[in-house]
């Protein structure tokens, strides 16, 4: 599948501990002795991270699972490239450091370090330190399981919508939403058989609306062909609607288990796909066996004319997603979903005990998960938010 980049210019699951942001920050900020400086920062004699497992090859670098060399417990995903080819990773870091959301892969910093190569050589590498999502990508889940149940698709779709709503609020357009760029991290407190939280990652092609690079939004052809909106394919027009189109293609792929334009593979060769997307009246095929709500959502996202395409805010309150939002609220601080909300704090859904602070008689065992602490009630054995909702 062809990925279109600007003209100028992720593995096996593992039960590894997930730590708080403070631990990552402390690990990233520790530096070894420097051997020099570049115009973009200090060059370390050796990396602060020990790469233990190759996770995949991205468009602009190699991705590794790594352990911090200082404490030997902090883990991260390291996206690495030779310094002379790392401009896209540096741009991605600039975007990601502004984004703090449970539905976006976190960036914990970067480093420039001397590293050994496979052939006893040495190179200067740029390492982007990212949150490790042990559930791998949505694309791998689809490849392994095939068609996903509509119930699970709703959960993933809602997570992606929350992520898109957040980044659009920061005036960021992703430009490459697809299953390969949706990463999964295990959670234990979902009211569903789905045990993963979906997070948006890989912002190498993202654009900030209103920036110098963005200009008037025209002439920025970028993305992966099968997920590119018609206006992006034809004229390189980048606006929030291109993410809505790609979101629709991603939902369709989850429901069918195949490429969004797969139904037309026997009619056109790959080189003609851009014409099919940009110059024909066709949209990706929506099977009739899907539920009415799923078909309705897809038809409203996959509209050729951007002005008539569903706005993200409208998609968020669509009936196919709304029912779950009403029955399962999300704590802004820890993103747990086994809570409902009241003025005095979070309430355990099963036994109605309020857990603003661990009450007397409650099990005070705390479980580290991301940036949150979770208390476990003896009475009902459900984990719920320990902190007052912000």
The whole-number pLDDT of residue 174 equals 95
Task: State the pLDDT confidence band at 316, using cuts at 50, 70 and 90.
Answer: low
Greater confidence, 276 or 10? 276
360-376 mean pLDDT: 37
| Helix, strand, coil fractions of the chain, as percent rounded to 5 | 30, 25, 45
Continuous H helices in 99-207: 138-145, 150-169
Q: Is residue 176 annotated as part of the catalytic site, yes or no?
A: yes
The whole-number pLDDT of residue 144 equals 92
Greater confidence, 95 or 194? 95
Q: Give the angle subtended at the CA of 205 by the CAs of 98 and 211, to the nearest 5°.
A: 60
Continuous H helices in 318-360: 319-327
- pTM beyond cutoff 0.85: no
Instruction: Give the chain's mean pLDDT.
Output: 76
The whole-number pLDDT of residue 272 equals 84
pLDDT in tens, 211-250: 888 888 888 889 999 999 999 999 988 999 999 999 999 9
Q: Which of 317, 352, 346 is nearest to 334 (CA)?
A: 346
Percentage of the chain exceeding pLDDT 70: 66
pLDDT in tens, 261-275: 988 876 666 778 888
The whole-number pLDDT of residue 193 equals 59
**Is a pLDDT exceeding 50 seen at residue 326?**
no
pLDDT in tens, 139-197: 999 999 989 999 999 999 999 999 999 999 999 999 999 999 999 998 866 555 568 99
The whole-number pLDDT of residue 277 equals 92
Coil, strand or helix at 185: strand
Of residues 176, 180, 202, 243, which has the active-site annotation? 176
Q: Which of 111, 103, 101 is nearest to 79 (CA)?
A: 111
Range name among 1-5, 187-191, 331-335 with the lowest pLDDT average: 331-335
With both helix axes pointing from N to C terminus, report the angle between 150-169 and 319-327 in degrees, rounded to the nearest 10: 90
d(CA 222, CA 213): 13
Q: What CA–CA distances, in Å, run from 238 to 66, 79, 99?
A: 35, 26, 20
Q: What are phi and psi of 276, to 5 degrees?
A: -60, -40
The alpha carbon of residue 186 and the mean position of all alpha carbons in its chain are separated, in whole angstroms, by 13
**Is a pLDDT exceeding 90 seen at residue 283?**
yes
79 marked ligand binding residue = yes
Cα dihedral across residues 4, 145, 138, 159: positive or negative:
positive
DSSP string, 42-74: EEESS-SEEEEEEEEE-SSSEEEEEEETTTS--
- List CB contacts of 139: < 8 A, sequence separation 6 or more: 178, 179, 180, 182
Which domains does the chain carry? 7-130 (3.30.200.20), 138-326 (1.10.510.10), 329-385 (no CATH)
pLDDT in tens, 24-77: 445 444 433 334 555 456 888 888 898 889 998 877 889 999 999 888 888 999
pLDDT in tens, 285-313: 999 999 999 999 999 999 999 988 988 66
The whole-number pLDDT of residue 377 equals 43
Q: Which of 160, 235, 173 is nearest to 200 (CA)?
A: 160
């Amino acid at each position: 599948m062809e990925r279109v980049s600007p003209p100028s210019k992720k593995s096996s699951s593992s039960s590894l501990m997930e730590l708080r942001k403070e631990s990552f920050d402390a690990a990233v900020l520790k530096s070894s002795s420097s051997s020099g400086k570049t115009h973009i920062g200090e060059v370390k004699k050796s990396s602060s991270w020990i790469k233990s497992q190759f996770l995949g090859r991205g468009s602009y670098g190699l991705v590794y699972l790594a352990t911090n060399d200082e404490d030997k417990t902090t883990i991260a995903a390291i996206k690495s490239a030779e310094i002379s080819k790392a401009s896209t990773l540096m741009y991605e870091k600039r975007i990601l450091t502004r984004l703090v959301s449970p539905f976006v892969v976190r960036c914990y910093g970067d480093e420039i370090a001397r590293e050994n190569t496979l052939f006893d050589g040495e190179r200067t590498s740029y390492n982007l330190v990212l949150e490790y999502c042990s559930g791998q990508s949505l694309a791998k889940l689809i490849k392994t399981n095939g068609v996903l149940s509509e119930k699970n698709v709703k959960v993933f779709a809602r997570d992606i919508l929350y992520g898109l709503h957040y980044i659009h609020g920061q005036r960021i357009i992703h430009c490459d939403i697809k299953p390969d760029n949706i990463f999964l991290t295990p959670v234990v407190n979902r009211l569903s058989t789905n045990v993963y939280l979906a997070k948006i990652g890989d912002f190498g092609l993202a654009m900030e609306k209103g920036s110098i690079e963005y200009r008037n939004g025209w002439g920025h052809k970028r993305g992966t062909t099968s997920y590119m909106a018609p206006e992006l394919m034809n004229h390189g027009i980048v606006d929030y609607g291109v993410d809505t189109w790609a979101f629709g293609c991603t939902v369709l792929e989850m429901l069918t288990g195949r490429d969004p334009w797969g139904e037309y593979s026997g009619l056109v060769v790959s080189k003609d796909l851009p014409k099919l997307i940009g110059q024909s009246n066709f949209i990706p095929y929506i099977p009739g066996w899907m539920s009415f709500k799923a078909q309705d959502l897809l038809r409203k996202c996959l509209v050729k004319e951007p002005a008539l395409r569903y706005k993200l805010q409208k998609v968020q309150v669509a009936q196919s997603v709304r029912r779950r939002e009403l029955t399962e609220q999300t704590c802004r601080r820890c993103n747990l979903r086994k809570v409902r909300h009241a003025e005095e704090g979070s309430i355990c859904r099963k036994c109605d005990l309020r857990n603003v602070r661990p009450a007397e008689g409650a099990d005070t065992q705390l479980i580290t998960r991301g940036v949150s602490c979770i208390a476990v009630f003896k009475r009902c054995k459900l984990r719920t938010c320990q902190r007052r909702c912000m």
